[in-house]
Structure 1
Amino acid sequence: MFSKRSISFSVLSVLFSSFVSSSCVWNTLDGNPSKLVGHRGEKAFMPEHSLGSYHMAAFESADYIEPDVVVTKDQVLVVLHNEWLSDTTNVASIPKFADRKRSFTFVGNYTTINRTDYFVFDFTYAELQEINQVQVTTYPYRPQYFNNDFSIMSVETYFDKIANLTTIFNRTFGVIPELKSPELFNYLHPSANGRWFEDTLLSIMEKRGMFVNQPPARAPLTGEGDLVDGVLNIKPLNYQAPNYIRAAIQSFDPETCKYASSKTNIPIVWLDSATPEWYTPAGLDDIAKYSKIFSPWKDLMLAGPKAFFDISKVPYNQTKIDSMGGFLEPKEFVAACHKRGIELSPYTFYDSRQNNLLLCSTSNDTRLTWCPKNRKEELQYFFDIGSDYLFVENIFEAQMVRLAHDYKVRYGIDY
């Protein structure tokens, strides 16, 4: 039974919502709710980058479903997070591949590997089909039921899978491949222009029609209740299917970002873990020449660049930083990105049972004045500052917090 108080509250909420101005919008560049990117699909429940992981992300209504891209010995682009296999496959338990384990060292400007492992570039694509993807055992609550069900897929299979999911779910899922370690794979597969890896992915995407009508026009502001409708795939009467395939390309290699931007109008995601120069006005001016989406490690948008670099002992030249306009603190950094037409896409927001890996959770530095106590507070902060995209795991949790935040934005009611 509902109490009179709860009934009254519900009535007041409805009455209040009818007077809410359409100007109540999110702090994102286009005013729409932040988009959720399924990080490696849905790795909280399924082996990452597996067909099951991507299907699960679709069930949870992710806006984008992410693959990492590496290359086999026989030059097939495949979906795998690392250049090695031991972390997320059963390769070590297969006797016929025991002799593939070796030490390998590579040092580039943006890629460094010094490891003994089973490396993907020592296997043909056919051999990878004999290896199963497995869920990591670090987190005991993650299901281990699917460890014999999936093998490493090619990028072509990934694109087929997302196209198929788009059809069977009757909703759009974006593709957002990340080129892992381009320096390494261009070294292993030399070409005349030194960009074999980038050119191969771009060619595949172009042949699949992903260059058509790019970049798309900005989406109109969503109306009242549209976020809930979107999650539940309730389409408005005037719905028109997109006339383009929602796509983006990512890389931590800025030279790859620059090259890809010269070959396509697909949005380029400029990934960064800790490069001090990018967090200045002049740094953003440079990024804006090549990329319309900037993706920093999330703590740079919470601790702030200076505190983050100091506490993490990341070296920088203060004179150079000052000459570039100085470090931009989080909220002014978001505003500066949006002023330049750059969307912000912090990473990675983990399952609520995991450590959030924020400095404020481990450091007593007095500059870290606020620390989210849980995943709800963490996500609310990043929604509030205007993050345009978020790379998330356990998409279901992120959906709930996003819906609650949308209700707060539109109706002023906090959960």
Structure 2
Amino acid sequence: MVIAGAMLAAIIAVPSGAVAHRDEEPTVIGHRGASGYRPEHTLEAYRLAIAAGADYIEPDLVSTKDGVLVARHENEISGTTDVSTKPEFAGRRATKTIDGVAVTGWFTEDFTLAELKTLRAKERLPQVRPTNTAFDGTLEIPTFQEVIDLAKAESRRHGRTIGVYPETKHPTYFQDIGLPLEEPLVRILKRNGLTGKRDAVIVQSFETANLRKLDKLIDVKLAQLINASGKPYDFVVAGDARTYADLVKPEGLKWISRYADGVGVEKSLIVPRDASGKLLAPTTLIRDAHRNDLIVHGWTFRAENQFLPADFRIGTDPNARGDIFAEFALYYRLGIDGVFSDHPDTAVAARVGFAK
């Protein structure tokens, strides 16, 4: 497969030892569903991701007032629902401190599931993805159980296993307000027969304490999310001096391997960029993680120019599509085990082409 010609060849001419061996083809995860084509975290976005060939669909999980896990990017929902247009809920607008940051809006934990079901989803990035706004006001907020039900039904329909890759959002915050995420999550997984390492489920979090807790409650695969800056909020609360940068060092990855099966990393931790957005030489993160028996999934792969490295942008419109296939080829070449993509069809197509 020829992509980006000599430029790409030069970029991936990395030092010996930086390229990691991969036994299986990379996993494609529909990031919040096919969120490049439908409003994120809706059953329609998940369904489209599956139709596009995604191996897993990814619901971010937050809690309702009555303890039901629902799929939203954040517990603050003014940017992803029509709640601000509902006069009956005007009095619930509030300012809260979430992970040390003051946030104003409407929060899932102040609504029962029945009340949330009266709301409708809307596109979170309308300027970037204006065609998605055609679905505004038509799609419900799904529960985690409804996402699992969809994955099961689509697995039967397509004749292949569709996995679920839930992320627990702000677990320390929800623990502190009396709505812990871990126990409801475990109950739902057990009720659906998703309890072991061989089951098609991976639970992920940016915090570490809740993953370590889950490691004692259930035997499904766990993935530690790692950002390009900052530190896990549970480290802030516990006074732990380590940062995400420390966790991607060999000793940090060894520590993660005690409770998790993989890491989900911001993709610039694998291939950094300079100040102009151009790609630099890859790091050894994938190799180092594999040496600690950790799989590596990267996020987030998006087709629009503004999300791509400068090397793969086409034209000057930040919202136009760039050469996303070249980016996938780069990361597949480096041995990444899986990718989170808003456009899972492109990840699947690039995977097929790269295999040739």
User: Is it true that 1:204 corresponds to 2:160 in the alignment?
Assistant: no
> Which of 277, 284, 289 does residue 258 from structure 2 map onto?
289
State the SS of the aligned residue for 1:260.
helix
The offset of 1:331, in angstroms, is: 4.8
User: Within 2, Cα distance between the matches of 1:210 and 1:52?
Assistant: 23
User: Is it true that 1:261 corresponds to 2:215 in the alignment?
Assistant: yes
Does the 8 A contact of 1:379 with 1:401 survive in 2? yes
Distance 1:30 1:377, change over 3 A: closer
User: Within 2, Cα distance between the matches of 1:143 and 1:33?
Assistant: 30
User: Within 1, Cα distance between the matches of 2:248 and 2:298?
Assistant: 13
The offset of 1:32, in angstroms, is: 1.5
Question: 1:122 matched to which residue of 2?
Answer: 110
The offset of 1:73, in angstroms, is: 1.0
The offset of 1:29, in angstroms, is: 5.5
Question: 2:86 matched to which residue of 1?
Answer: 94
TM-score by length of 2: 0.82
The offset of 1:279, in angstroms, is: 2.0
Question: 2:334 matched to which residue of 1?
Answer: 385
User: Within 2, Cα distance between the matches of 1:115 and 1:359?
Assistant: 32
Question: 1:155 matched to which residue of 2?
Answer: 144
Question: 1:317 matched to which residue of 2?
Answer: none
Distance 1:176 1:118, change over 3 A: same
Does the 8 A contact of 1:89 with 1:133 survive in 2? yes
User: Within 1, Cα distance between the matches of 2:159 and 2:43?
Assistant: 18
User: Is it true that 1:247 corresponds to 2:201 in the alignment?
Assistant: yes
Letter paired with 1:353: E
The offset of 1:338, in angstroms, is: 1.1
Which protein is richer in strand relative to its size? Answer: 2
User: Within 2, Cα distance between the matches of 1:140 and 1:59?
Assistant: 20
User: Is it true that 1:215 corresponds to 2:206 in the alignment?
Assistant: no
Return 69-78 or 397-406, whichever deviates more: 397-406
The offset of 1:141, in angstroms, is: 4.2
The offset of 1:170, in angstroms, is: 2.0
CA RMSD of aligned residues (A): 2.3
> How many residues are paired up?
311
Letter paired with 1:172: T
Does the 8 A contact of 1:331 with 1:385 survive in 2? no
State the SS of the aligned residue for 1:355.
helix
Sequence identity percentage = 26
Question: 1:298 matched to which residue of 2?
Answer: 267
> Which of 58, 70, 94 does residue 78 from structure 1 map onto?
70
Which structure 1 residue ranges, 4+ long, deviate > 6 Å from structure 2?
A: 359-362
Question: 2:119 matched to which residue of 1?
Answer: 131
The offset of 1:358, in angstroms, is: 5.0
Letter paired with 2:159: N
Letter paired with 2:133: Q
Paired residues for 1:233-382 under 5 Å: 245-273=199-227, 274=229, 275-303=244-272, 330-350=282-302, 352-356=303-307, 374-382=323-331
Question: 1:326 matched to which residue of 2?
Answer: none
Unaligned runs of at least 5 residues, structure 1: 1-26, 191-195, 217-244, 313-328, 363-372, 408-415
User: Within 2, Cα distance between the matches of 1:358 and 1:258?
Assistant: 34
Unaligned runs of at least 5 residues, structure 2: 1-18, 230-243, 314-321
Letter paired with 1:382: Y
Does the 8 A contact of 1:299 with 1:358 survive in 2? no
User: Within 1, Cα distance between the matches of 2:312 and 2:91?
Assistant: 42
State the SS of the aligned residue for 1:45.
coil
Return 31-40 or 139-148, whichever deviates more: 139-148
Does the 8 A contact of 1:303 with 1:360 survive in 2? no
Question: 2:61 matched to which residue of 1?
Answer: 69
Structure of higher CA gyration radius: 1
Distance 1:153 1:43, change over 3 A: same
